[in-house]
Amino acid sequence: MILFDKIMFSYGNREILKDVSFSVRADERVAILGKSGEGKTTILRLIMGLIRPDAGRIIIDNEDITAKTEQDLRETRMKFSIVFQEGALFDSLSVKENVAFCLREYTQMSEEEIDHAVSSLLSRVGVEHAQHLMPEELSGGMHRRVAIARSLAAVGPKMFLYDEPTSGLDPVNADTICRLIADLSRDGRGLIIVTHKVSDAMKVADRFIFLKNGELLFDGGKTAFLGAPDEEIQEFINEVHRCGDGAS
């Protein structure tokens, strides 16, 4: 579904991605790991067409999106549902209205149908009691669950994208979010999770991509990743374990 072909990307004079190539099927569960500033979130932004590479091609479902216009990218973006690091809920809308937003914008559902769908989605993530609350009234874990419910309201996404979904959460809430993410991908839809937490990646992913200095240092399965002979990878794994694997 996704193909990165020799992607180069810089912010000003700083190289973020250097000749990065990989492909991901729609049913795969992939974790992109690395320290802060290594280009993990940049990859998600490139997939969504929010930024453009300096060189190389990005292919989504056999279609080159690299030079597509903003209008032409709409169809491509509908293939994904993304949960941003801080949830990115609309502060001025209630939980119910946040989840209903996509349904009102992109479907012909009646208000009664929307109400039913919103209740069902919030129930699925365990926060049906919070539909009349405002985002500022939510705990961190609830905020993230509502963001996931809103992503589920997207119209038929093929794949879920998560940007540091447990950032800032305590271990109990982080584990809950990881179990929810894993459960939601059991219907055959894949996911890409960007994280610096090895434990999160182990709970939800089967394939691991590791970035170092803007380059793809590793791409493989769980056992191979944990046993990778590369000193940079082992240093990363040991460092995050020493820090409690995900302290914010």
> Any idea what the CATH number is for the domain that residue 55 is in?
3.40.50.300
pLDDT in tens, 102-147: 899 888 999 999 999 999 999 989 999 999 999 999 998 899 999 9
Residue 166 and residue 195: Cα distance in Å, rounded? Answer: 8
Considering the chain, what percentage of its residues have pLDDT values greater than 90? 67
- Rounded CA-CA distance 6/36 in Å is 22
Q: Give the chain's domain count.
A: 2
Q: What is the pLDDT of residue 236?
A: 87
Q: What is the pLDDT of residues 146-156, one digit of tens each?
A: 998 888 887 67
pLDDT at site 242:
55
- For residues 212 and 121, membership in a common domain is answered with no
* 56, 179: one domain: yes
- Looking at residue 87, what is its pLDDT? 60
pTM for the full predicted model: 0.88
Residues 134 and 232 grouped into a single domain: no
Report yes or no: 80 and 158 within 8 Å, Cβ to Cβ. Answer: yes
Q: Is residue 212 part of a domain?
A: yes
- Quote the domain boundaries for residue 114: 91-156
Q: For residue 57, report the phi and psi dihedrals to the nearest 5 degrees.
A: -125, 150
Going by pLDDT thresholds of 50, 70 and 90, the confidence category of residue 245 is low
Confidence of residue 247 (pLDDT cuts 50, 70, 90): very low
User: Are residue 164 and residue 235 in the same domain, yes or no?
Assistant: yes
Q: What's the rounded Cα separation, in Å, for the pair 168 and 221?
A: 27
Q: Which two tokens stand for residue 135?
A: 């985002």
Q: What is the mean pLDDT of the chain?
A: 90
